[in-house]
Structure 1
Amino acid sequence: MAADRATILSWLADLSAAIVTDADDLSDVSARIATAPDLEAAAFASEVLSLMRIIAESADEPDDFDKLAQGLSVAGDTADAVSIMLGMGLAIAGSRIEWPSRPSARRVRSRVSVAGDTASSAIDKLGGDGADLYAWSTSVTAIACRLISDIAANAAPIIKVSTGVSMPSTVLAYQLYGDATRAAGLVDIANSATPLVMPTLFDALAS
């Protein structure tokens, strides 16, 4: 049973619309998705991996990684194909993004490692025909994990902040960092429901 091409291409189209911001890249991806259904099996496999690479290389923010990491709820050969694509895509995206804290970078490294293992398991099913792909996929995952480890080592640690009284995020950002423009990042890490009334106890970057 072959992977469902229409499902895979629809997924790639949705990802490109959500992540790719460069107009030329988006136009190129859209045109290639339109012609991909008629490709031979080997050419189709190569093409969808190439399209995933473009999408992953367009990931600039943690939210882009999260969109990619959602994957696709499918089964059988289609699930294996998606796993292989995600193994590569998350490795590329995860190593491109400047993760704001050590814990976030470490979580991403773990997610990339798991995705790589899942991709390897899917490639194993191809037998000898997948030997080169297996070597390439495992190498990409290993390199990405090393790069993300470097990002984690240089990222700021997380601290607990206790204020005793709720304050706006802009005030807290200025008090903590001397920079009120960092309020949005403060809200994200603290998981605050509103920037106007921050919790009295929350996580924040140390610097």
Structure 2
Amino acid sequence: MLRRARRRAGTASPRPLPLLTRGPGVIRVATTPRRSDQHAPPTPHRIPERVAEKAALSFVVDGDGCHVSTYSTGSHGYGQLGWDDDITGAHTGTTAHRAAWTHWNGPIPEGMTVDHLCKNRRCVRLDHLRMLSNFDNARRTSGRDWPLGQCINGHPDSELVHWGGKWKCRPCTLEVQRRYRARKAARAAA
């Protein structure tokens, strides 16, 4: 309807407007899929050496021996810093611990992340940082820090299987299923 009104008024839109489709109790806007070349995946940015050096050397020592970054703290709790790119002039930013790691060890490979052993998000001390895969870092949440190469219950990473769209420890998952079935059977018997 809106398209016809625009055509009558002589202001036809250069792109086709989204169509309204009806679903079960909902009206959805159906859009045409974008071409894959319209939005390239983000490329990791290079942290200039001058920025990495400032991040590694701008700190105060706290009572636990952490080198706490003097840069501003983002809402995520990490020290953060920014710079204007020399080539494009665009403003770019990163976290202080990533820049400090880059200063001492070189670039961070894709698929890897820098983790804090001390659990202090603002710390830039090299002996308090380690490089982990994104997968291992994601498993190390809420203070759970079991040895690398195994699950929280001590099963080796060789037991990991891709289950339901996620990597899961096979023995742990089978144990959870066994306990669920036992509870379900106990409820049915009661």
Range of TM-score over shorter length: under 0.3
Q: Which has the higher strand share?
A: 2
TM-score between both structures, scaled by the size of structure 1: 0.21
Larger Rg: 2
Higher helix proportion: 1
